[in-house]
Structure 1
Amino acid sequence: MTKLRVDIWSDIACPWCYVGKARFDKAVERLDGKVDVEVRHRSFELDPDRAPGDVDAVVPMIAKKYGISPAQAQANEYKLGDLAKAEGLDYRSEGRDHGNTFDLHRLLHLASARGVEAEVWSAFYAANFADEASIFERDRVIEVSVAAGLDRDEVVAVLDDPEAYKAEVRADEAEAAALGATGVPFFVIDEKYGVSGAQPTDLFAEILEKAWGEKKPAITPITGAEDAEACGPDGCPI
């Protein structure tokens, strides 16, 4: 039977994507041996109009965006930190940065092409939400990408070429819009079920198992009589 494909639209700057992916991964782990899942990262920018290099501290950015006080914004960060830690994730609730994530998405598509998508995806999340060094600094992006398995020269080449993997990122974003996704995380399971938000692990497990059970089973060979002949690449026995 083929794998159960799951497309996950997300943004590295999205804390709910960070938490939601952890819950989803737990569901997949719980169903190990029952459901065979293939996950694909899909790009979604929460702040696409922010200029490259325009980096801001998270707390004042949130306060300004949502019209709340800095104290309220910081309290929200503490709550997110508690939720992340409940999923076994490290989360730095103070002093994080926010910036344009377009280059990170382009590098994730490079990672997909090189077979290290999951590793780079996890590394970018950890770098943004747990590490002290900002993921929005070029040298840090290169360092994290290489440590996660990408070739340094290829990473630098992508960063230096604004057209590299641009079409792939834009295609992902266009598809998300066509599907009606206005926020992330957004999970599409087997091109059939859409799941929005950082849902509980139990719900992810339920939907994954349901979708797997609805897939058409592979053809079951019936051996029949042992003397039944058939033609093969070496010809037909007589």
Structure 2
Amino acid sequence: MRVEIWSDIACPWCYIGKARFEKGLAAFAHRDDVEVVHRSFELDPSRAKGDVAPVVDMLALKYGRTREQAQAMEEHVASNARAEGLDYRTEGRDHGSTFDIHRLLHLAKARGRQNELLDLAYRANFAEERSVFDAGALLALAVEAGLDADEAQAVLADESAYADDVRADEREAAELGANGVPFFVLDRRYGVSGGQPAELFTQALEQAWKGRETTPVGGAGAEVCDADGACETPQAGAPA
């Protein structure tokens, strides 16, 4: 059974959702028979390379909030991340174009190192004092993930390399009706949107395995990052 996950390295709920999905997968009896494929979704596809700004400033602009309110939004996300055992920096993070990291992730997929690079990129972006928005930093992450340095450098230097693969993933997301991430598609039968609890992912995997025809799984109120680059926080009382 195949699970496809559309996500963006700039999306905190993708970082959290990946951890929750992996916990749900670990509780699934047929987990060894599940193939996980990560697909590209840029939250800010029109952003120019090199246009890097502090995350808090971006959130304040997107939501029309003060910097203090935007910082509080970051603290909310951080509390959810830490509840999943993930480190999360609430200050000093940047936001920029993720097109190059998506291209590198397609190279990593071709070399069997996609999950390794994705984990490293998430950790660099959300937990460490490392940028994912310049070529040197991306090359270092690629090598750390086990990719050949010369091959990764060649991909970064050629903006057409794997560009069609990134755009194809994004078109497919649109065709499936995904306007936010993380977005999970199980065996092309069931969809799960947002950073849902681990238990819901286990339930969705079980339903997909049985192949029942039912309403796509997905709880209301789960956090997503949308196609405009904004990351939604549910209203009070909605599930985290």
TM range (shorter): 0.7 to 0.9
Which residue, out of 94, 99, 104, partners 1:102? 99
Letter in 1 for 2:124: A
Question: Aligned partners of 1:37 and 1:94: how far apart in 2?
Answer: 37
Q: Runs (4+) of structure 1 moved beyond 3 Å?
A: 32-35
Which residue, out of 187, 190, 208, partners 2:187? 190
Question: What is aligned with 1:227?
Answer: none
Question: What is aligned with 1:162?
Answer: 159
Question: What is aligned with 1:9?
Answer: 6
Contact 2:25 2:31 in 1 (8 A): no
- 1:201 equivalent in alignment to 2:198: yes
Q: What is the CA deviation profile of residues 4-34 of structure 1, one whole-angstrom value per residue up to 9, with x for unaligned ones? A: 1000000000000000110000011112556
Question: What is aligned with 1:31?
Answer: 28
Which residue, out of 58, 62, 69, partners 1:61? 58
Contact 1:10 1:186 in 2 (8 A): yes
Aligned residues with identical type, % of pairs: 60
Contact 1:188 1:195 in 2 (8 A): yes
TM-score by length of 2: 0.86
Contact 1:35 1:209 in 2 (8 A): no
Question: Aligned partners of 1:34 and 1:99: how far apart in 2?
Answer: 35
Contact 1:20 1:197 in 2 (8 A): yes
Which residue, out of 132, 135, 141, partners 1:144? 141
Q: What is the CA deviation profile of residues 17-63 of structure 1, one whole-angstrom value per residue up to 9, with x for unaligned ones? A: 00011000001111255662110011000001110011000001110
Structure 1: where are the runs of 5+ without partners? 216-238
What secondary structure, in the 3-state scheme, does the structure 1 residue paired with 2:205 have? helix
Q: What is the CA deviation profile of residues 74-108 of structure 1, one whole-angstrom value per residue up to 9, with x for unaligned ones? A: 01101111100100111111110100000000000
Distance apart, 1:135 and its partner CA: 1.4
Letter in 2 for 1:56: A
Question: Aligned partners of 1:11 and 1:166: how far apart in 2?
Answer: 15
Which residue, out of 160, 166, 169, partners 1:172? 169
Structure 2: where are the runs of 5+ without partners? 213-240
Letter in 2 for 1:181: A
Alignment of 1:80-99 (within 5 A): 80-99=77-96
Question: Aligned partners of 2:151 and 2:195: how far apart in 1?
Answer: 33
What secondary structure, in the 3-state scheme, does the structure 2 residue paired with 1:53 have? coil
Q: Which has the larger radius of gyration?
A: 1
Letter in 2 for 1:106: R
Q: What is the CA deviation profile of residues 201-227 of structure 1, one whole-angstrom value per residue up to 9, with x for unaligned ones? A: 110000101111228xxxxxxxxxxxx
Contact 1:51 1:100 in 2 (8 A): yes
CA RMSD of aligned residues (A): 1.2
Contact 1:35 1:208 in 2 (8 A): no
